[in-house]
Every structure is written in C-alpha cells, then in structure tokens.
Amino acid sequence: MPSTPHPYRSVFRPGLFAGQVHWVTGGGSGIGRCVAHELASLGATVVISGRTQGKLDRVAAEIAEDGGRADTIAFDIRDEDAVKAGVAAVIARHGPVAGLVNNAGGQFPAPLLAIGKKGFDAVVANNLTGGFLMMRELFLASMQQHGGAIVNMTADFRNGMPGMGHSGAARAGMSNLTMTAAFEWAHAGVRVNAVAPGWIASSGMDHYGGAMKSIIPRLKQHVPLRRLGVEAEVSAAIVFLLSPAAAFITGVTLPIDGAASLGSEIFPLGPEAKSVPFDGFHRAVVPDVLK
C-alpha cells in the first residue's frame, strides 16, 4: 500500500499504461521524477535512468512505496557505447519499450561571449546529441519492430534564449530532430513529439546561483498567467502525447509556458490573473529558491 496519504492525482484513467514499459531519462529529479511517478501510477513499469545511481534509487523507492513498479539504470546519455549497452540491458530485462521520455539535460547561464567551445559542446551533448542517441537506439532495438511513442524535452526557445544561447541552440535542434524522426519513423508506428516548458517550479531552479538565483523569484511577473508552472502540468502533457488519445499527433512541439513567450511591451500584462495550478503530484517539493 502507498505510504503517502494521497496517490498521484492524474487526470488519466487508471491502468492506461498497464503491461507497458516506459523509459524516463533524467528520472532522478525534477520533471523527470514527476513523469516517472505519473506513468507508474497509470500502471506502467517505469525505467528511470541518469548519471547518479543514488538519485535513481530514491525515486524508485518512492514509486515502490506508492504501489508502482520502477527499475533503474545509471549511465551517461552522451556516451554512445553506454547508451547502446543500456538499451540492450533494459530490453533484455523488460522486453519492448512502448514509450521514451527524453528528459535528461542541463545547462548553465552565460552570455554567448563567455561560452567556450568545451562548454558549448557539453550543453549540446546534454540536450541534443544524447537524446538523439537514445531515440536511435530504442528505435533500432525495439520500436522499429513494435511501435511506440517518444516525447522529447526542449525549452522555451521561440524568441531565442539570451543568457543561454548554447541551450537554446540545442533545444531548437531537438525540436527540428523531432519533426524529422516523426516523418521517417511513422511507417513503423512510432510517434515523436516534444514539449517546450517555460518557467516551471522544479528542483532544477536550485542549481542556479549568482544573478540568476535572484531573478527566479520574480519570473512570474513576466508570465501572463502570473505564476510559474508546476511539474505536474508538464507531466500531464507528456502523458497525453504518449497515450492512445494522441494517436494522430506526431512531429509537434507543445509549448507549456503560460503564454510567457507571446506578446510584447506594447500590450502590458494585467495586475493579476486567476490561473490555478494543477495539483497532481502528491510528492512535489517547492524549490528552495522560491521559498
């Protein structure tokens, strides 16, 4: 029985993914942790991967406490040989993988003139190349034969990404890669979509220091909905794109940003908004920077 007083409050029907295996990269924290919980609550056997085994073990233990099933595997998605070995190991253990959530990634704030080649390459590898390797290997090893759905993680890059140009370039590349894969792999019954979260109240916010740390609490002032998003709102969009209800949706990048990327100073934001967050994740934790 779950040890928490309230299980995940998903809007999707119980047992939606029963008998299926779904893989969440970067599942040890933040949005990936939330997605893993929701998929498990809907009956999936969830594989969570990342670079730190301890973080993965903690999330797997949470899912088990809540009555779900989770497995873990630690490796670096930037390492092609590690990706190949990891995919082979998971399929040998669990069989075909029905869904991949390409969530792993990361970046650091810096203006373009301060980004060296090493830092640029590292961010692109984290947010684009590694995701490509996961997509390709799972397609070759499982989805080419059995079909499936992939949801890639991008970000709010529509107006550029000043202060994180390396991440913006990688995320835009992932959105374009999503369209290409959707076209090339449709014949195999594989759908490929992406989500582009804006400012989401997640543990990743606590990784930033300096000027960025002081800006984060004020970000909601620039969102028409006048609040930050929560992890469950991103997870719900991902789960929909993985579900049979999205069977004719492929090749899209879905913004989840409260309309922050729209409008201009010509039409200023109103003084308040009546938006209420979706309180779905029963284990959500407010980032320290927002407390």
Q: Which amino acid is at 66?
A: D
pLDDT, tens digit (0-9, with 9 covering 90-100), for 164-191: 899 999 999 999 999 999 999 999 999 9
**Mean pLDDT of the residues in the chain:** 92
Supply the angle between the helices 30-41 and 231-242 in degrees, to the nearest 10.
50
pLDDT, tens digit (0-9, with 9 covering 90-100), for 86-125: 999 999 999 999 999 999 988 888 999 999 999 999 999 9
- Please report which confidence band the pLDDT of residue 219 belongs to, taking 50, 70 and 90 as the band edges: confident
Domains of the chain: 21-274+282-290 (3.40.50.720)
Which letter does DSSP use for residue 42 in this model? Answer: T
pLDDT, tens digit (0-9, with 9 covering 90-100), for 223-242: 889 899 999 999 999 999 99
CB 174 within 8 A of CB 153: yes
CB 86 within 8 A of CB 63: no
Token readout for 180 is 């290409």
Please name the residues in contact with 44: beta carbons below 8 A apart, sequence gap of 6 or more: 17, 18, 20, 21, 22, 69, 98, 99
Burial class of residue 154, CB neighbours in 10 A (0-12, 13-18, 19+): buried
CB 230 within 8 A of CB 201: yes
- Tell me the percentage of the chain whose pLDDT exceeds 90: 76
Of residues 163 and 125, the one with the higher pLDDT is 125
Per-residue pLDDT averaged across 20-27, rounded?
Answer: 98
In angstroms, the CA 284 to CA 281 distance is 5
84: helix, coil or strand? Answer: helix
Question: What are the helix (H) ranges across 78-198?
Answer: 80-94, 117-124, 130-138, 144-146, 165-185
Q: Which amino acid is at 166?
A: H
Supply the pLDDT for residue 3: 46
pLDDT, tens digit (0-9, with 9 covering 90-100), for 69-87: 999 999 999 999 999 999 9
Supply the pLDDT for residue 6: 63
Q: Which residues pair with 200 in a beta bridge?
A: 229
In this model, does residue 194 exceed pLDDT 90? Answer: yes
Supply the angle between the helices 30-41 and 53-65 in degrees, to the nearest 10.
30
Angle at 12 between CA 275 and CA 194, to 5 degrees: 75
Burial class of residue 111, CB neighbours in 10 A (0-12, 13-18, 19+): exposed
CB 148 within 8 A of CB 100: yes
